[in-house]
Amino acid sequence: MSELPPFLLFFIAAGLVAVTRGLPRQLILLATPVVTGLHLWQDINPGADVAYSLMSYELAVLRADKLSLLFGYLFCIASFFAGTYALHVKDTKQHVAGLIYAGSALGAVFSGDLITLFIFWELLAISSVFLIWARGTERALKAGIRYLVYQVLSGVLLLAGALVYYHNTGSLEFGHIGLDAGIAGWLIFIAFGIKSAFPFLHSWLTDGYPEATVTGTVLLSAFTTKVAVYSLARGFAGEEILIYIGVTMACFPIFYAVIENDLRRVLAYSLINQVGFMVTGIGIGTALALNGAVAHAFSDVIFKGLLFMSMGAVLYRTGNINGSDLGGLYKSMPKTTLLCIVGALSISAFPLFSGFVSKSMVMTALMQENHGYLWLLMLFASAGVFHHAGIKIPYFAFFHHDSGIRTEEAPRNMLVAMSVAAALCIFIGTQPQYLYALLPWEVEYWPYDLTHVLAQTQLLFFSALAFVWLNKKGLYPPELHSVNLDAEWFYRHLVPAGAQRTLHLLRGAKASTLTKVIAHMQGVKNQFGKSPMAKYYLSESWPTGSMVFWISAILATFLLLGLFGLRP
């Protein structure tokens, strides 16, 4: 029992959930993360190492240290509130997929070697896509397929990288890899990059997440990108290129988030922006920065989960999530409004909320390493976060002009789940020492010093002022039904259009060649036409002749090459 791999409990629970209904199923959903969390807390020590033998090869299914344990706790917490949030859902498929998905995330962070990681990496992809497909719409089906293609591509790259890595070094251990490992390093790096939504590789996220079910998006936002952040932190800590990638990730989604109308897609963009902070932290690679990155992952899962849950509640009650159609909902959903504001304050890094204590570590590390310009860019990104996630989300959903929608408060289980998450946000924000104690690297750091609090508060108030001013002047981009072009334009429009043109050209060429060939054949046919064999020979459904041709051709090649020494 003591060294049971944590993912097993989730997989067993998935099996049980498939055959139970009603109260027992709800109990399993709630108990699994709690039991697993306690198991991690009590039984598994940093340094645990369990291997399982498969085809004369040792799969390290449980390799624990403080880094993986931190993510282990986080995933248990996330699947607990996501499970609570989804208690009312009757759809078996979603529950089973959700548990396998969460279990695979746990499996991935405790993997000790690249092959085990690859197995869970693929399981993550396959189980999560069902959360998108479960929405049941045509859009969701197609977005799910595009999502799956990206995820499987990432898995294939990881496997290829792992094999090359093994070939070069003779080891498959999942430790620091680094880009110095040559092609193997780059393959694995890009595999991780796809899952953590690097710029231009990110469109699966903004494309897929908003199409998932109300409860599915909450799960999706918690696991996939965080597993990737964990993998980057373990494999590529301190790679300088990550700093620039991270800063880009933190900045560019701001613009999309401001003009986007679908509020869950706004959150998806803001998810990339937050992962940008983590990637930057990993790129800096000092102990403080790495701690900041994983701490920010920890708080991000909780506050982003909270925001996705509140938007999910709105979607669940009103059936609509476009900023242009909502407004004035605080009258019908006051509790959801309040909880959403807690999430918004946390993501905007208000002092006393969880975002503040983790994001500030990355910012301080940037300053310490003398990246002044990048620090300014990140400051801009922080202000942007406040704009689109801190103000835009609650403002357009719950206040703004009254849309006239009157509905009920969110269901009780949703409120409980959101309250748990909100309480955690405030707890981490006010008592950060408990989170800091879990962090993998030893660092003395305390966020509540005067300059820091003051700087952040100023930043937030001036951005708030900017929002109010822009809104009053009518300069703020209005919420409109629109389609915004993103990197996915390349493969959803440019490539198909290009392919169509090429095909068109080819078809033209084929048609003209065919007419010539047919005319020629016609001539031959006229000559042989009278013999009955010709009919069979020219008929398409009779390829025996071509077979005979091929077998003679191969024999001839074989003999020519072999007997006359014409081999290359």
Partner 1 sequence: MLSHISLLLVVVPLISAPVVAILPRGRLPWAVAFIVAASCAVLAGVQLWAVLHEGTISYELGGWAPPWGIEYRIDAVNAFVALIVATIAAITLPYALLSAEREIPEDKIPLFYSAMLLCLTGLLGITQTGDIFNVFVFLEISSLASYALISLGRQRQAFTAAYQYLIMGTIGATFYLIGVGLIYSQTGTLNMQDLATILPDVLHLNTVETGFAFIIVGIALKLAMFPLHLWLPNAYTYAPSVVTVFLAATATKVAVYVLLRILFTVFPQGFAVTTPADELFIVAGIAGIITASVSAIYQENIKRLLAYSSVAQVGYMVLGIGFASATGLTAALVHLFNHALMKGALFMAVGAIVYRVGACRMEQIHGLGRAMPWTFGAIVIGGLSLIGVPGTAGFISKWYLVVAALEQQAWISVAVILSGSLLAVVYVGKMIEALYFKPVADAGKAVSEAPILLLLPTWALVLANVYFGLDTDLTVGVAEKAAAILVGVQP
Which parts of 84-166 are beta strand (E)?
Answer: none
DSSP 403-462: -----PPPPHHHHHHHHHHHHHHHHHHH-HHHHHHH-SS-----S--HHHHHHHHHHHHH
Q: What does the per-residue mask of binding to partner 1 show for 452-481, with x meaning CB under 8 A?
A: ------------------------------
Considering only 20-28, 51-59, 199-207, 388-396, which stretch makes contact with partner 1 by CB under 8 A?
Answer: 51-59
Beta carbon of residue 186, minimum distance to partner 1 (angstroms, whole number): 15
Q: Which of 18, 19, 38, 141 binds partner 1 (CB under 8 A)?
A: 141
Beta carbon of residue 118, minimum distance to partner 1 (angstroms, whole number): 7
Q: Which of 159, 177, 247, 374 binds partner 1 (CB under 8 A)?
A: 159
Q: Which of 16, 126, 190, 487 binds partner 1 (CB under 8 A)?
A: 126
With 0-12 / 13-18 / 19 or more C-beta atoms within 10 angstroms meaning exposed / middle / buried, residue 70 is buried
Considering only 184-192, 334-342, 392-400, 551-559, which stretch makes contact with partner 1 by CB under 8 A?
Answer: 551-559
Total number of residues binding partner 1 (CB under 8 A)? 34
Q: Which of 42, 370, 451, 546 binds partner 1 (CB under 8 A)?
A: 546
Angle between helices 263-284 and 354-368 (to 10 degrees): 40
Q: Which of 38, 54, 509, 511 binds partner 1 (CB under 8 A)?
A: 54
Cα-flanking dihedrals φ and ψ of residue 234, to 5°?
-80, -40
Nearer to partner 1 among residue 157 and residue 340 (C-beta): 157
Distance, CA of 370 to CA of 446 (rounded, Å): 20
**Helix (H) / strand (E) containing 233:** helix 214-235
Beta carbon of residue 55, minimum distance to partner 1 (angstroms, whole number): 4
Nearer to partner 1 among residue 31 and residue 534 (C-beta): 534
Q: Does 42 bind partner 1 (CB under 8 A)?
A: no
Distance, CA of 288 to CA of 208 (rounded, Å): 33
Q: Does 551 bind partner 1 (CB under 8 A)?
A: yes
Q: Does 548 bind partner 1 (CB under 8 A)?
A: yes
Cβ count within 10 A of residue 158: 25
Q: Does 519 bind partner 1 (CB under 8 A)?
A: no
Q: Does 562 bind partner 1 (CB under 8 A)?
A: yes
**Helix (H) / strand (E) containing 559:** helix 544-563
Q: Does 558 bind partner 1 (CB under 8 A)?
A: yes
SS3 58: strand
Q: Across the strands, what pairs with 62?
A: 50
Nearer to partner 1 among residue 8 and residue 416 (C-beta): 8
Q: Which of 34, 35, 50, 152 binds partner 1 (CB under 8 A)?
A: 152
The alpha carbon of 541 is separated from its chain's Cα centroid by a whole number of angstroms, namely 48
With 0-12 / 13-18 / 19 or more C-beta atoms within 10 angstroms meaning exposed / middle / buried, residue 78 is buried
Beta carbon of residue 158, minimum distance to partner 1 (angstroms, whole number): 11
Q: Which of 1, 23, 42, 55 binds partner 1 (CB under 8 A)?
A: 55
Q: Does 550 bind partner 1 (CB under 8 A)?
A: yes
Residues 33/305, Cβ–Cβ less than 8 Å: no
Distance, CA of 121 to CA of 183 (rounded, Å): 20
Q: Across the strands, what pairs with 49?
A: 63
Which residues make up the interface to partner 1 (CB under 8 A)? 54-56, 118-119, 122, 126, 141, 145, 152, 156, 159-160, 163, 167, 541-544, 546-548, 550-551, 554-555, 557-559, 561-563, 567-568
